A and B are shown apart, each in its own frame.
Chain A
């Protein structure tokens, strides 16, 4: 097999990616959240069709119409969330969908034999063939999934964040297995946030940024610093206005916060007129932190104080205490899509009697001030573009006139113009004495907008530091676990 090569045209998520992987080689695919890794893999596995560009597999054109097609061609994906049938046995899972049959009957001897051959190829004959998959550990389940790919006879194996839910010894085993498969001549694409792993396991690497492949090379020859520089390197223009701000009194204090699952530990202090950022990888527990503070997620222990109010509270009480939140999931939680702009905007602040005229007047005011593109305050929010929807979601907080704003990925999936407006808005709010706590996966934005940034890694929030003392490189190192967070007392 000479390799896979492809170029994509001007899609939103992928704007020209070149990628080659040879047999007997491990290629690491790295990039920040939202750089286009998942979309690229969806294209490779046939879940999406590329708008432009070609792919070739072993010298022949490769254009899978769907995931099944891709599997038949020998391209197998192992996703973060495993796709096994938990109640079926190990061997049934390995040969699922391609059971050898004689007439209508399954040839169980052959199933057993082929399944055990596949496990032997992985060097994991210790996994019992007859056990239901649900009784295995996560690591063993992952093996079963890889065995399934091997049993199909895959030539290209894609591992998407395979270590995110594994313990250290299991990671070790997985790495041994990857080496083993490489020596058997498979081409392996290894996607990971954790650069240390990338350094250890891969032969070559390719960096994606903003949907483009921006560089790569032989892993041995590249330092971590160089890889990170490729991942984050971009010029920051005047996108981020920053007026002089004066931090006032403390409005939000969180001590020793522990949630159910995540966050595992968090502490922070936020003053009026200050913008604080929480950086970290997807799944680090940043969203959970905000939800705990806002009362949308139960807290296990720790204290939260909002202005003069201490203790846990429901979202309803938080609004009354002068705190508002913008959800990361605009469509499912942030907005009621089939209600009007006016209804969405005023929902948190309605009097016992509601005057539709007053609702309209207030909304029209915000629509004008935030330059929301719409047909009027009575238009359904669902009909707006993403950027304009987000402006409505944020306008709700402005209309309520909250003092503390929790913004979870406020610029996710919106156009650059709206992003710039939102950055300006945040700056103005801080100057007006409001406190902003903002989670974002986009580092330049955090560095551009925030006064202080704390990094969250695997559920633990690190200490907040001034932006002037930080750079993307450092944050990336902390977020990917390259630097050990020593915040925990």
Chain B
């Protein structure tokens, strides 16, 4: 009876929907699509002007890409989760678990509790160790997914619990110390700096990030699974009405994301060269921030892989630029915080425009 239709009262052929909103819609679409890129150009431009000599160099850009890889790959998984209307606070801990798992699977020294002597134990091929790490990540993701769908609890609470649980697990497994593996094989080289003459070749980890970004982007756009993710995040009830297996899809999203978090964990291991159970503390916030800066909506149903990668880059550029400026870490935190709030405010504005348009 209180019809939302602008032409509800008119009989005969309906006239075109309200035209005035059309321009607003186009504008917001442009902002949504290009917002993160504009933001990235802005911070790059800013730091280029402020510290041209040290910031605006090929070497520094290569460094920035390398520093982005871990957060960037994890952000791919987080983007899927956030588009589906979920959240995962346990990423940082999951990365630590994977990092320790990989180290434990590789040949490493162990202190024999009886004699106190150091013994070399374990030892499978680095490829298998990496696969083991990925298996651990998938299992963690499945657990997160099963708990949120099975208990019908908010993923925020579940993954908050998992954050603590997984961190503890990583520390238990590592016996509350570092795990130093021998014979790391190729796992050592994933994030290694490239020979200064061939900077453009990029380190394997960065290639991995770009490749996975293409894969995830394709999954989101060109598979039924991907479209289901958007549908669930946009309106779970509609998804159910249309026969989308909501629970199964959510579980798969967490599992898929878990695999990506595991890859991030392997890169983190590669960067550290050891299994550190206390690594990546607080990294979940960087990852979520990257996704949000990239234009995803925490309400679900919206988000892009390109956006999230750009978001991750913005975070690294800010960190890198601040250090080039010689600013203390404190100021870098402040700048990052301002950027996150700006990005969310923009998201809010976009939503308000949409509801106004309706």
Q: Which residue of A lies closest to B21 (CB)?
A: A383
Q: Say yes or no: B9 contacts A39, CB within 8 Å.
A: no
**A347 / chain B contacts, CB cutoff of 8 Å:** 227, 231, 238-239, 242, 244
Q: Which residue of B lies closest to A332 (CB)?
A: B237
Q: Which residue of A lies closest to B302 (CB)?
A: A338
Q: Say yes or no: A339 contacts B234, CB within 8 Å.
A: yes
A1-30 Cβ-contact flags toward B at 8 Å (1 or 0): 000000000101100000000000000000
Give Cα A386–Cα B10 distance, bound, in whole angstroms: 13
Give Cα A109–Cα B303 distance, bound, in whole angstroms: 60
Q: Say yes or no: B245 contacts A316, CB within 8 Å.
A: yes
Q: Say yes or no: B2 contacts A338, CB within 8 Å.
A: no
The reply to whether the CB of B16 lies closer than 8 angstroms to some CB of chain A is yes
Q: Which residue of B lies closest to A14 (CB)?
A: B1
Whether A413 contacts B11 in the complex (CB less than 8 A), given A319-B243, A347-B227, A383-B358, comes out as no
**B4 / chain A contacts, CB cutoff of 8 Å:** 331, 385-386, 413
The reply to whether the CB of B126 lies closer than 8 angstroms to some CB of chain A is no
Q: Say yes or no: B14 contacts A387, CB within 8 Å.
A: yes
How many chain B residues touch the partner (CB < 8 A)? 45
A302-331 Cβ-contact flags toward B at 8 Å (1 or 0): 000000000000111111100001010001
Give Cα A353–Cα B2 distance, bound, in whole angstroms: 41
A362-382 Cβ-contact flags toward B at 8 Å (1 or 0): 000000000001110000101
Q: Which of B228-266 contact A (CB under 8 A)?
A: 228, 230-231, 234-235, 237-245
**B235 / chain A contacts, CB cutoff of 8 Å:** 332-333, 335-337, 339
**B12 / chain A contacts, CB cutoff of 8 Å:** 416-417
Q: Which of A366-410 contact B (CB under 8 A)?
A: 373-375, 380, 382-388, 396
Q: Which of B206-240 contact A (CB under 8 A)?
A: 221-228, 230-231, 234-235, 237-240
Give Cα A387–Cα B241 distance, bound, in whole angstroms: 20
Interface size class of A (residues with CB under 8 A): 35 or more
The reply to whether the CB of B22 lies closer than 8 angstroms to some CB of chain A is yes
Inter-chain residue pair count (beta carbon < 8 A): 155
Q: Say yes or no: A338 contacts B301, CB within 8 Å.
A: yes
Whether A12 contacts B241 in the complex (CB less than 8 A), given A333-B235, A355-B222, A375-B22, comes out as no
**B243 / chain A contacts, CB cutoff of 8 Å:** 314-320, 348
A50 to chain B, nearest CB (A): 14
Q: Say yes or no: A316 contacts B244, CB within 8 Å.
A: yes
The reply to whether the CB of A128 lies closer than 8 angstroms to some CB of chain B is no
Q: Say yes or no: A327 contacts B241, CB within 8 Å.
A: yes
The reply to whether the CB of A451 lies closer than 8 angstroms to some CB of chain B is no
**A356 / chain B contacts, CB cutoff of 8 Å:** 221-222
The reply to whether the CB of B176 lies closer than 8 angstroms to some CB of chain A is no
Give Cα A211–Cα B10 distance, bound, in whole angstroms: 15
New contact pairs (4) apart from A333-B241, A373-B14, CB-CB < 8 Å:
A13-B1, A332-B235, A415-B9, A418-B14
| 22 pairs, CB–CB < 8 Å, chain A vs chain B | A12-B3, A13-B2, A38-B1, A332-B235, A333-B238, A333-B241, A336-B231, A336-B234, A336-B238, A337-B358, A338-B354, A339-B234, A343-B231, A347-B227, A354-B221, A380-B25, A385-B7, A386-B3, A413-B1, A413-B2, A414-B5, A415-B11
